Chains A and B, each alone.
Chain A
Amino acid sequence: EVQLVESGGGLVQPGRSLRLSCAVSGFTFDDYAMHWVRQPPGKGLEWVSGISWNSATIGYAASVKGRFTISRDSAKKTLYLQMNSLRAEDTALYYCTKGSGGYTHVDSDYWGQGTLVTVSS
């Protein structure tokens, strides 16, 4: 059974940093692209970042480029999102998703339950 378990969310002050983690199981982590998708309270989905199976292709939404860094650790089967210089508008439920293939333009066939990030003073 495929499982994606996010952690690391919480309340953080503007300008501070946070690192999200997504521990996966039930599939060969090294074979698939992974993504972070966020959803502000009461709003729609926004793609944040994606990383290909071999980390050769990485993309970011314009809203987070230069502030967020995605990475993956195959030994730990974990996806990360380092979030720096956080702003109030980064407040959202952050989902970890598994791509159905190795590249970042494919669909997300599995989603975690999300971890909530609240940026407020």
Chain B
Amino acid sequence: QSVLTQPPSVSGAPGQRVTISCTGSSSNIGAGYDVHWYQQLPGTAPKLLIYNNNYRPSGVPDRFSGSKSGTSSSLAITGLQAEDEADYYCQSYDSSLRVVLFGGGTKLTVL
């Protein structure tokens, strides 16, 4: 069981908006450590999607956005497209455990 908790799956129809949550604790997200999000398309290596809570690397569409509040973070995807079907992971750092953490991952299905 991951220290960063994500829903195992979410789904949405094309064009809709979905959100994926990432819940941590006072020793990681709540301690002020940044949250990063990765997208892993089937059969490929993960790709950085959002860094430092709400910044998009060059080339990532503005349909993807991130936010952070308290001990949680969220990834929002608007205008859902078939190509967004993938696994999504959040990442942060834990000062108590002194380790980098990944969430358990969320599988996004585009209906």
Q: In whole angstroms, how far apart are the Cα atoms of A95 and B89 in the complex?
A: 15
Report, as a range, how many residues of chain A touch the other chain.
20 to 34
B64: interface (CB < 8 Å): no
Q: Which of A46, A104, A109 contacts B57 (CB 8 A)?
A: A109
Q: In whole angstroms, how far apart are the Cα atoms of A50 and B91 in the complex?
A: 14
User: A45, B99: Cβ atoms under 8 Å?
Assistant: no
User: A111, B100: Cβ atoms under 8 Å?
Assistant: no
A-facing mask of B23-41, CB < 8 A → 1, else 0?
Answer: 0000000000110101010
User: A44, B89: Cβ atoms under 8 Å?
Assistant: yes
Once A107-B34, A107-B51 are accepted as A-B contacts, the answer to whether A44 and B104 lie under 8 Å apart by CB is yes
User: A47, B101: Cβ atoms under 8 Å?
Assistant: yes
Q: Which residues of A contact B51 (CB under 8 A)?
A: 100, 107, 109
Top 5 A-B pairs, shortest CB-CB distance: A105-B93, A107-B36, A44-B105, A47-B100, A107-B51
